[in-house]
C-alpha cells in the first residue's frame, strides 16, 4: 500500500468492534469518518451552492468524470482552476471515473438489483462497447460517440483536480454470469495498472487514487480482487460492482467483502446510502459512502425520517399532509424543520416550487450528516451497536444515544 503523506493520510481515531471513526486528510482539508458523500455529478449538489453544502458540515463531495467530460469538458474546467475553482468548492473532492456509466448505459434496463436501475431504458445497451482498450459511449447530450480508457479517465480527473480520483473500472451487473464477471474483474485489474501507471508519471502530485474491488457476488473473485487492488499500491479502496439482487444479499456480499480490504486504508462503499445500509456498512468498518438517493428523493418530494417501516421515507407528494403543523421530523436542526411544517413543504412540492426541492435537499442532507456525526460519536463512546439499534427502531439520529 502506497502511503504518501502529503497526498492523503488516514488516521483511525477510535474503534468499536469492526466499526471505526477516523479522519482522511486531503490537500483540501480533512474528512471525518464515517462520512456520507453527497453527489455533485455535474459540478453541483443539485439545488445547492457549494457554500451551503459546506455549511451543512460536508467535507467531501463527488463529481463525475463522464458527465463533466461530456460537458463542459476538462479544458474549460482546468482553465477555471479545476473543479474546485469552477464550482467554488474549497473542501475535498472525489471524482468517479466514468466506470459506473459503462454499467448504467449498458445495463440500464436491468431491474431488481441493488445497484442497478429499475427503469426501462435498455436501448442504451447497444450503444456501449467495452474492449480491452476502454469503453465506447454515446454522449447523453447529443448522442455523439466518445471513448474513455483508463488513461483518458485519469487525464480528465487530473484536469478536474480532484483530491481523490477513482480508477476506471467496469461495474459488473448482477445478471452477468460468473464467467463474464471473472473476465471483467481481471480486465478491471489491468485497467487499474494502467491508471496508476499514467497517474504516477502525469497525475497531479497531491491527487490520491482509490482502487475499486470488483468480483460481483462471488467470494473467491472478491478475494482475488481485493488482493490485487491492495498489492497495486493505492491510497484507498472502494467496493464496486453488483451487491446482489436485494438488501439481504447485499448484506451478505458486504459482510464477505469488507474483511478482505486492508485495515489501514480508507474504505469507500460506492453508491450505497440508504439509512439502514449506511449503518450496516459502518458496522462492517466501511468509512465513506456516496449515494444519489438522499438528494434524488428530495427532488421527488420524499424526506428522510425515522420511520423504519416506511424505509425511513416521508413522502410529501402523497395526500394527507394538508393542515399538518408538524415539522418534517421533530427536533431536526435543518431550515425546513426549523421554520416550516409538513403542510407547507408538501404543498410546495406538489406545486412544483423549486423552494420545496431546496428545503427537502437541505433536510435530507442534514439528516444524513446527523446520522454519520452521531455514528462517529457513538463509535468513540463504544456504543455503536446500541446507536444502530436505536436508529433502526425508529429513533432520530440526534435522539438515538440518549
Q: Is 323 among the residues that bind RNA (CB under 7 A)?
A: no
Which residue among 43, 50, 108, 134 contacts RNA (CB under 7 A)?
108
| Structural contact between residues 175 and 166, judged by C-beta atoms closer than 8 angstroms | no
Neighbours of 4 (CB within 10 A): 13
Which residue among 86, 103, 198, 387 contacts RNA (CB under 7 A)?
103
Nearer Cβ to RNA (13/118)? 118
Q: Is 277 among the residues that bind RNA (CB under 7 A)?
A: yes
* DSSP β-bridge partners for residue 22: 12, 33
Nearest to 38 by CA among 281, 381, 367: 367
Q: Is 290 among the residues that bind RNA (CB under 7 A)?
A: yes
Q: Is 301 among the residues that bind RNA (CB under 7 A)?
A: yes
Q: Which grid cell is 242?
A: 453488483
For the bound state, the minimum distance from the C-beta of residue 238 to RNA, rounded and expressed in Å, comes to 7
Q: Is 175 among the residues that bind RNA (CB under 7 A)?
A: no
- Choose the catalytic residue: 16, 96, 235, 277: 96
For the bound state, the minimum distance from the C-beta of residue 347 to RNA, rounded and expressed in Å, comes to 9
**Whole-angstrom distance, CA of residue 366 vs CA of residue 368:** 5
Nearer Cβ to RNA (99/134)? 99
Q: Is 144 among the residues that bind RNA (CB under 7 A)?
A: no
Tell me the residue ranges of DSSP E strands in 34-141.
35-37, 60-64, 92-96, 129-130, 135-138
| Structural contact between residues 205 and 163, judged by C-beta atoms closer than 8 angstroms | no
For the bound state, the minimum distance from the C-beta of residue 151 to RNA, rounded and expressed in Å, comes to 16
Question: What sign does the dihedral 296-300-301-302 (CA atoms) show?
Answer: negative
Q: Which grid cell is 94?
A: 472525489
Query: What residues from 362 to 391 belong to the interface with RNA (CB under 7 A)?
Result: none
The full DSSP string for 307-341 is -GGGTTEEETTSS--TT--S-SSTT--SHHHHH--
Nearer Cβ to RNA (12/292)? 292
Query: What residues from 186 to 245 belong to the interface with RNA (CB under 7 A)?
Result: 212, 238, 240-241
**Whole-angstrom distance, CA of residue 379 vs CA of residue 15:** 6
First to last CA, the chain: 40
DSSP state of 39: B
Which residue among 16, 151, 274, 287 contacts RNA (CB under 7 A)?
274
Nearest to 37 by CA among 289, 254, 342: 289
Of 1-9, 22-30, 254-262, 285-293, the window that binds RNA (rule: CB under 7 A) is 285-293
Annotated active-site residue 96? The verdict is: yes
For the bound state, the minimum distance from the C-beta of residue 244 to RNA, rounded and expressed in Å, comes to 10
Of 93-101, 197-205, 216-224, 325-333, the window that binds RNA (rule: CB under 7 A) is 93-101
Nearest to 125 by CA among 90, 176, 165, 74: 176
**Whole-angstrom distance, CA of residue 390 vs CA of residue 145:** 50
Residues forming contacts to RNA in the complex (CB under 7 A) are 38-39, 41, 45-46, 62, 64, 67, 96-97, 99-101, 103-105, 108, 114-121, 123-124, 138, 140, 166, 169-171, 212, 238, 240-241, 247, 250, 270-274, 277, 290-293, 295-297, 299-302, 313, 315, 317-320, 350, 352, 354, 357
Active site residues: 96, 290
Amino acid at each position: 500500500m502506497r502511503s504518501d503523506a502529503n497526498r492523503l493520510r488516514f488516521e483511525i481515531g477510535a474503534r468499536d468492534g469492526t466499526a471505526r471513526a477516523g479522519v482522511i486528510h486531503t490537500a483540501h482539508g480533512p474528512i471525518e469518518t464515517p462520512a456520507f458523500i453527497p453527489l455533485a455529478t455535474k459540478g453541483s449538489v443539485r439545488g445547492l451552492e457549494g457554500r451551503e453544502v459546506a455549511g451543512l458540515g460536508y467535507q467531501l463531495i463527488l463529481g463525475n468524470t463522464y458527465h463533466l467530460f461530456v460537458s463542459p469538458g476538462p479544458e474549460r474546467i482546468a482553465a477555471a482552476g479545476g473543479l474546485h475553482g469552477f464550482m467554488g468548492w474549497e473542501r475535498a473532492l472525489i471524482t468517479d471515473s466514468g466506470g459506473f456509466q459503462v454499467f448504467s448505459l449498458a445495463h440500464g434496463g436491468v431491474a431488481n438489483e441493488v445497484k442497478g436501475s429499475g427503469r426501462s431504458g435498455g436501448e442504451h445497451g447497444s450503444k456501449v462497447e467495452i474492449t480491452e482498450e476502454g469503453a465506447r459511449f454515446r454522449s447523453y447530450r447529443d448522442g455523439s460517440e466518445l471513448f474513455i480508457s483508463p488513461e483518458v479517465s485519469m487525464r480528465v480527473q487530473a484536469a478536474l483536480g480532484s483530491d481523490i480520483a477513482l480508477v476506471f473500472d467496469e461495474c459488473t451487473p448482477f445478471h452477468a454470469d460468473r464467467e463474464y464477471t471473472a473476465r471483467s474483474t481481471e480486465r478491471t485489474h489491468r485497467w487499474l495498472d494502467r491508471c496508476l501507471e499514467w497517474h504516477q508519471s502525469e497525475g497531479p502530485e497531491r491527487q490520491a487514487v482509490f482502487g475499486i474491488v470488483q468480483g460481483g457476488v462471488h467470494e473467491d473473485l472478491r478475494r482475488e480482487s481485493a488482493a490485487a487492488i491492495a498489492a497495486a499500491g493505492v491510497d484507498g479502496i472502494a467496493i464496486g460492482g453488483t451487491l446482489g439482487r436485494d438488501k439481504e444479499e447485499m448484506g451478505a456480499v458486504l459482510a464477505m467483502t469488507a474483511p478482505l480490504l486492508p485495515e489501514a486504508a480508507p474504505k469507500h462503499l460506492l453508491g450505497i446510502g440508504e439509512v439502514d445500509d449506511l449503518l450496516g456498512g459502518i458496522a462492517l468498518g466501511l468509512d465513506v459512502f456516496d449515494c444519489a438517493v438522499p438528494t434524488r428523493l428530495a427532488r421527488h418530494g420524499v424526506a428522510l425520517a425515522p420511520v423504519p417501516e416506511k424505509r425511513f421515507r416521508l413522502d410529501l407528494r402523497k395526500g394527507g399532509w394538508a393542515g399538518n403543523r408538524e415539522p418534517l421530523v421533530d427536533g431536526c436542526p435543518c431550515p425546513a424543520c426549523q421554520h416550516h411544517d409538513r403542510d407547507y413543504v408538501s404543498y410546495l412540492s406538489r406545486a412544483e416550487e423549486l423552494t420545496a426541492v431546496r428545503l427537502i435537499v437541505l433536510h435530507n442532507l442534514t439528516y444524513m450528516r446527523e446520522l454519520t456525526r452521531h455514528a462517529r460519536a457513538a463509535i468513540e463512546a463504544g456504543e455503536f451497536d446500541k446507536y444502530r439499534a436505536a436508529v433502526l427502531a425508529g429513533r432520530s439520529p440526534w435522539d438515538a444515544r440518549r
